[in-house]
Amino acid sequence: MKLQKYILSFILPVLFAACVSSPLIRDYGHEIETDLAALSRVYKNSFPLGAAAEPFQLEGAEGALLAYHFNSLTAENAMKFRTIHPEEDTYNFEPADQLAAFAKENHMKMRGHTFVWHHPDEIASWVFADGSGRSRSRDEVLAILKDHMSALIDRYGDIVYAWDVVNEAVDTSQPDNMRRTPWYNSIGPDYVDQAFLLARELAPNAGLFLNDYETFEPAKRDALFSLVKGMKERGIPVDGVGLQLHLTLSHPPLEEIEKTIDLFRTLDVEIHITELDMSLYSREFQTMEEPDGDSLIRQAHRYKDLFDIFVKNDDIITSVTFWGFNDGHTYRTGEPYNRPDWPLPFDDAMKAKLAYHGIIRSDDLPDDVVLEEPRQNKTYQAPKGTPLIDGEIDPVWEAAPVVLTDTQVMNAPGAVAAVRMLWDEEHLYVLAEVADSTVSDNADQAYMNDSFEFFIDELNDKTVALGKDDSQIRIGHNNDMSFGGQGWKDKIKSATRITDDGYLVELMYILQKVKGEPGLKMGMDFQVNDNFGNAEREGISKWNDPTNESWHNTTGWGTLELYN
């Protein structure tokens, strides 16, 4: 009832005024609410406030809303490599031209996004191989990149004030934290440096940014910081970092974003918030047909708290951009989510949501709410024992209780593992027998292939982000290894084999922070990723955590208790 009264108190006067006497934008032939404060004017003394858009959004009510509330514009897709440069001698400038013309007409700044990115949808294969299939040399690829940059900078340099030179270069699962992409493979580990050197040569006065996602995760934060710090020390002209900030109602904790800001404050760089939105969900595979009142309230308060942080740090945060601006067009409803979502300040009718009032930091929001997350609190009691890690089930395993990863997380039921654990003073041991009728590894990314994951929180402190004692260990059916948090190859030994009904994983984890002893408790969970043969993960089963948040949040993990 409180929410209903609040919505009526805000919306009814607006609707009445819009119908009767409020000022209206008519330049585009449509009416929008202009008795609301324009978002960009609210923050005119702090930073430009922008939105990403597509050319089809420049007309009608959408165009009016975009021009009224924002003073910075990003091409959501129109300036990405394959979109604008699909063939060696072919440029498709028209979509980006429309966006640039709109920005000029409405006195908006523009951010250029992006020169270098690895995503399959935006990789132009001709860059890396010629028509005969011959792989191009480092020098050839660099020359192509320079020509591409030059074409875009020559055409849009008068309106674009900052470029995302390289997008999403960091991968903490790699020894050097660098994502293995066609750019990396063709140019070499210094491809980021080379891209920034070319960009500075061609755009001497533009801001040059390294853009990445999940920069609030401790490992990602540290890796990005190390990369930028090294670039600065090598004299590479990086002016700032772009923090994407695709958020949910529950993740990340906002203090983790503050930690990232504080860390980069120690370098002489700017911060741009480049891709801000906030899903109305708190769990990845949750679905709802309509937004519920409590979630809208939580979203508004979370936006308010976030913008408090931005304003407090507006000496280093010099731009904020939403990834979209109304719920009628958001990447959050596409792959891999395929569900309704409402992550932006305005609804699909171009009307302000509670989120808008949170963003302007209104003091008149309804009372905040606490959204209860589903939780299980299972405990696994592991007996003492030391098996041989060879992919065979030694007799010592017979003493260990068997549990199932029978908590299904995705919509389609995934493969289930029967799991056992043992321990000794220096190690933990895990045996997982995975029942999987189709064993597949045809996806590009490790987590999308058939694999078993072990999560361990040695200090059992149940933190909302992975800390120095938290490890995620992923073992594929073929014994391929990948990691998150503090997990790494030197901490484990593993063996796998194909079985009649799936595959078996046996692993040893070397304890880092504690010594094994009876009564010791640690945070722990198991997960099975299931690729049905379609080159993607279509099933996830877990032992304890019913969400897909275990990879970056330990609060949902179960408990491991050691006994003799």
* Tens-digit pLDDT string for the chain (564 aa): 333 333 333 333 333 233 322 233 334 345 799 999 999 999 999 999 999 999 999 999 999 999 999 999 999 999 999 999 999 999 999 999 999 999 999 999 999 999 999 998 898 999 999 999 999 999 999 999 999 999 999 999 999 999 999 999 999 888 899 999 999 999 999 999 999 999 999 999 999 999 999 999 988 999 999 999 999 999 999 999 999 999 999 899 999 999 999 999 999 899 999 999 999 998 777 889 999 999 999 999 999 999 999 999 999 999 999 999 999 999 999 887 889 999 999 999 999 999 999 999 999 999 999 987 778 889 999 999 999 999 999 999 999 999 999 999 987 889 999 999 999 999 999 999 999 999 999 988 889 999 999 999 999 999 888 888 999 999 999 999 998 888 888 899 999 999 999 999 999 999 999 999 999 999 999 999 999 999 889 999 999 999 888 998 999 999 999 998
The answer on 127 and 19 residing in a single domain is yes
Q: Cα angle at 559 between 553 and 562, to 5 degrees?
A: 140
Instruction: Note the pLDDT tens digit of each residue in 278-295.
Output: 999 987 778 899 999 999
Q: Is the peptide bond before 336 cis (omega within 30 degrees of 0)?
A: yes
The whole-angstrom separation of Cα 385 and Cα 399 is 9
| Residue 367 within a domain | no
Do 242 and 316 touch, CB atoms closer than 8 A?
no
The answer on 466 and 330 residing in a single domain is no
- Residue 105 annotated in active site: no
The answer on 144 and 279 residing in a single domain is yes
Catalytic choice (62, 76, 168, 217): 168
435 Cβ partners below 8 Å, 6+ apart? 415, 416, 417, 418, 501, 502
Do 383 and 325 touch, CB atoms closer than 8 A?
no
The answer on 150 and 110 residing in a single domain is yes
The answer on 278 and 414 residing in a single domain is no
The whole-angstrom separation of Cα 167 and Cα 181 is 11
CATH number reported for the structural domain that contains residue 536 in this entry: 2.60.40.1190
CATH number reported for the structural domain that contains residue 132 in this entry: 3.20.20.80
235 Cβ partners below 8 Å, 6+ apart? none
What phi and psi, each to the nearest 5 degrees, are found at residue 74?
Answer: -120, 135
> Both tokens of residue 420?
């056992």
| Residue 371 within a domain | no
Q: Please tell me the total number of residues recorded for the chain in this structure.
A: 564
The answer on 486 and 545 residing in a single domain is yes
Q: What is the sign, positive or negative, of the torsion defined by CA atoms of 83, 85, 88, 91?
A: positive
| Residue 364 within a domain | no
The answer on 100 and 22 residing in a single domain is yes
- Residue 62 annotated in active site: no
The answer on 448 and 332 residing in a single domain is no
Catalytic choice (256, 270, 275, 538): 275
What is the extent of the structural domain holding 319?
2-359
